[in-house]
Chain A
């Protein structure tokens, strides 16, 4: 049995920008967008998921990820994130409580990528996420994260999707795919 199952998002795709289309493999190709919402990618069939995204931009921009249910996007200060950054010879770390996860750090006109492991987003419990990322900041930059999402007052919420958005008006172009781990 295949270990990874592509989770094709529900349609129509909700996005802001030039275009976002579901490709033949079930991923989404997007061009010059600032917001993209993927619904129905977290299902009761799987506990854990892998998200792979790559993107370029015309200027430096960070891309955030927020959990989304059938109705609402959680933009509350319910995301705690530990980062590990390696820029030259000095690794540094920081833990912050935020209104989103950090998904991608695009510098300018070069490729940035992220593999995110998401644990239990659809289960009635907090969600954990671990990312491995490459940024083109200073040509090449490691900026990995480990985070949890626990909404208030009830942290035990299941989500069926998520939203990514750039943290400025700068747009990104690339591809994103969500896969469920078979069990």
Chain B
């Protein structure tokens, strides 16, 4: 059994958003809604995201989603770690309407691994983003986030604060370990 399994969304929503097999492709998209990815088959998930274009450096955010509706309440908190040149800094945002998970920059390739822990369980969700942002050729832009509602979600929406982004992403489930 492979420890990581590819997940195909049941559908996607958003202007410029489409499915190519299991890959979610987005072109000049401001909001990427992904449905039918979280289930009882897995507890924990990995998003692998590749951005190839944006207007300029800014954060990318995630909202939890159930049956086609996002939770846009002030139920998110995130801690950011940023390393750019000799500057290493952190910042925490609480009671926010979305969780920052990554970043993207203008015309420079950026990439992210985003780990989502327990989104389909009836408990709060934890998220860890780990990115290379193409800003100035390379910037570390990581996040640890939580979502406080004890609701089981089946999808999410990724947005860029109403700015467009182009790229693709794939989603994987971590195989559950057998209990002996």
Contacts and interface: CB of A to CB of B under 8 A. Distances in A.
A80 B135 CA distance: 10
A76 B36 CA distance: 45
Contacts of B2: 2-4
Contacts of B132: 82, 117, 119, 128-130, 146-148
A125 B51 CA distance: 11
Determine chain B's interface SS by DSSP, over half rule: strand
Interface in B103-145: 108-111, 113, 130-134, 136-141
Nearest to B50: A119
**Interface size, B (range):** 35 or more
A93 B137 contact: no
B159 interface: no
Indicate the member of A84, A127, A145 with the most B CB atoms within 10 Å. Answer: A84
A130 B48 CA distance: 12
A93 B50 contact: no
B113 A117 contact: yes
Contact of A95 (B3, B84, B108, B168): B84
Interface string A93-132: 1110100000000000000000001011000011111101
Given A91-B88, A93-B83, A128-B132, A120 B109 contact: yes
Contacts of A154: none
A182 B170 contact: yes
A47 B108 contact: no
B67 interface: no
B22 interface: yes
B85 A146 contact: no
Nearest to A97: B137
Indicate the member of B109, B110, B138 with the most A CB atoms within 10 Å. Answer: B138
